A and B are shown apart, each in its own frame.
Chain A
């Protein structure tokens, strides 16, 4: 019952968020701020995680190939497919759900308990639109770039492992990376990233916006926002994959 209530309230909030847009001049400034805060602020962690992910995929694939019948370029091919189809989209989205999601829920939650949202409403401002729309637009815009960066860094990480560990030759790795490349994989990854960006921002925003009480409730909302958005990302991942790839 509580889940249904939350779903209903979430859609009502989203309806309110997009029904009365705030002045474009104010939103524009906020979007630039959020792109910097939510997107560029995550570049460091995405770079580190993607580089090591690509490196480990390369090592694991190489160490698990025992048969001489399996060509060496399979390592590069696997690293590319894994990074593009899942790691740079879903795993990065889950990491961002933790980092960005908790940030959004606690920021909006604190604004709620310190009456800053009431102050916006009193001024005749649609607080949902003013606070949530810039975050959603910024994330949906910048996250696909982060995903592409993650793919590049991950595959580069795999290449460096090939170069320095010698588990696979760099020529074979590059051949695998280029083998049977389909541009649709990138489109699929970017569509997923954009959907996940919406989830990562809107669900924690809902939990932050619904806070009643004090600092304790803000913490609870932050946790709920991260957990729920992570679960919804996994469900959406399945649905999008079924729709686009099967």
Chain B
């Protein structure tokens, strides 16, 4: 479980986050939605420690991450897996070396054990047999899946996904969503997904928070979002004709 308490952040005098409180439950896919520039990515970066919040606390299973010593922070980070928007695979390493990287850094494994783990992770994301390919030699969707394989290689307790569906065709996007959902439930991971994609919200949104102008404006689930009366949320979620029809149906 991850808990955010009263998170504030500003850049050059401009307030981006205004006292956000939220609890991300274990074994659930927690979605953060909001318009571009609303503060979703800043909130996520504050949570994983890439940016220090000006005020507030981030607690990983009750441990205060914001005020931890660097060594203790490293211990928490070993338990974090992250899928970046563009995959963020290391260009100079093969797919196999990319997945082995966190293992080499933090796990005491023999080469044989690492190889087995790589093959397991690649198999889990349906990408077996591409071990020797470089990131530039595989498609965007494959890069995302390899990114997930790298993120789960150390058996993380927390999985962060930054716009996992951006730039993917609808069927691959659904595949990635389902994969995230399956992994979350299978390994009881606390998963946080930052997304713009309303299909993702409807598919995997166990817990959804809506960020508007740096405030937590709404909180609920994929079922309650359809009945929302919140104007700003409705404007975002039901912007497309398709979503308007979905709402009218149910």
Residues of A bordering B, CB below 8 Å: 20, 23, 25-26, 110-111, 114-116, 118-119, 121-125
Tell me which residues from 40 to 94 in chain B have a Cβ below 8 Å from any Cβ of chain A: 48-50, 70, 73-75, 77-78, 80, 82, 84-86, 88-91
Task: Please tell me if the beta carbons of A118 and B88 are within 8 angstroms of each other in the complex.
Answer: yes
Task: Please tell me if the beta carbons of A125 and B88 are within 8 angstroms of each other in the complex.
Answer: no
13 contacts between A and B (CB under 8 A): A23-B104, A23-B105, A26-B104, A114-B88, A114-B91, A115-B86, A116-B89, A116-B91, A119-B88, A121-B77, A122-B82, A124-B75, A124-B106
Task: Please tell me if the beta carbons of B77 and A123 are within 8 angstroms of each other in the complex.
Answer: yes
Q: Chain B residues near A110 (CB, 8 Å)?
A: 91
Task: Please tell me if the beta carbons of A115 and B88 are within 8 angstroms of each other in the complex.
Answer: yes
Closest 9 CB pairs of A and B: A124-B77, A115-B88, A119-B88, A124-B74, A115-B84, A122-B82, A123-B102, A116-B88, A124-B78
- Interface size of B as a range: 20 to 34
Verify if B101 is at the interface (C-beta below 8 Å from A).
yes
Q: Do most interface residues of chain A lie in helix, strand or loop, or is the interface mixed?
A: helix
Task: Please tell me if the beta carbons of B85 and A115 are within 8 angstroms of each other in the complex.
Answer: yes
- For residue A232, give the distance in angstroms from its CB to the closest CB of chain B: 28
Known: A23-B105, A119-B82, A122-B77. 11 other contacts (CB 8 A): A26-B104, A114-B86, A115-B85, A115-B88, A116-B91, A119-B84, A119-B90, A121-B49, A121-B77, A123-B106, A124-B77
Q: Chain A residues near B102 (CB, 8 Å)?
A: 123
Q: Chain A residues near B82 (CB, 8 Å)?
A: 118-119, 122
Chain A residue with Cβ nearest B150: A119
CA distance A124 to B104 in the complex (A): 12
CA distance A170 to B102 in the complex (A): 60
Which of A23, A111, A119, A121 has the most chain B CB within a 10 Å cutoff?
A119
CA distance A25 to B100 in the complex (A): 14
Number of residue pairs spanning A and B whose beta carbons lie under 8 angstroms apart: 51
Chain A residue with Cβ nearest B76: A124
CA distance A110 to B91 in the complex (A): 10
- For residue B60, give the distance in angstroms from its CB to the closest CB of chain A: 13
Task: Please tell me if the beta carbons of B90 and A26 are within 8 angstroms of each other in the complex.
Answer: no
Chain A residue with Cβ nearest B90: A116
Q: Chain A residues near B50 (CB, 8 Å)?
A: 118, 121-122
- For residue B145, give the distance in angstroms from its CB to the closest CB of chain A: 16
The residue from B75, B85, B101 contacting A123, defined by CB atoms under 8 A apart: B101
CA distance A116 to B89 in the complex (A): 7
Q: Chain A residues near B48 (CB, 8 Å)?
A: 122
Task: Please tell me if the beta carbons of A122 and B80 are within 8 angstroms of each other in the complex.
Answer: yes
Contact mask for chain B residues 95-121; partner A; CB cutoff 8 A; 1 contact, 0 none: 000000110111000000000000000
Chain A residue with Cβ nearest B147: A119
Chain B residue with Cβ nearest A33: B92
- For residue B12, give the distance in angstroms from its CB to the closest CB of chain A: 13
- For residue A46, give the distance in angstroms from its CB to the closest CB of chain B: 24
CA distance A121 to B90 in the complex (A): 13
Chain A residue with Cβ nearest B75: A124
- For residue B153, give the distance in angstroms from its CB to the closest CB of chain A: 10
CA distance A49 to B203 in the complex (A): 63
Contact mask for chain B residues 153-189; partner A; CB cutoff 8 A; 1 contact, 0 none: 0000000100000000000000000000000000000
Chain B residue with Cβ nearest A25: B104
Chain B residue with Cβ nearest A123: B102
- For residue B194, give the distance in angstroms from its CB to the closest CB of chain A: 13
CA distance A123 to B79 in the complex (A): 9
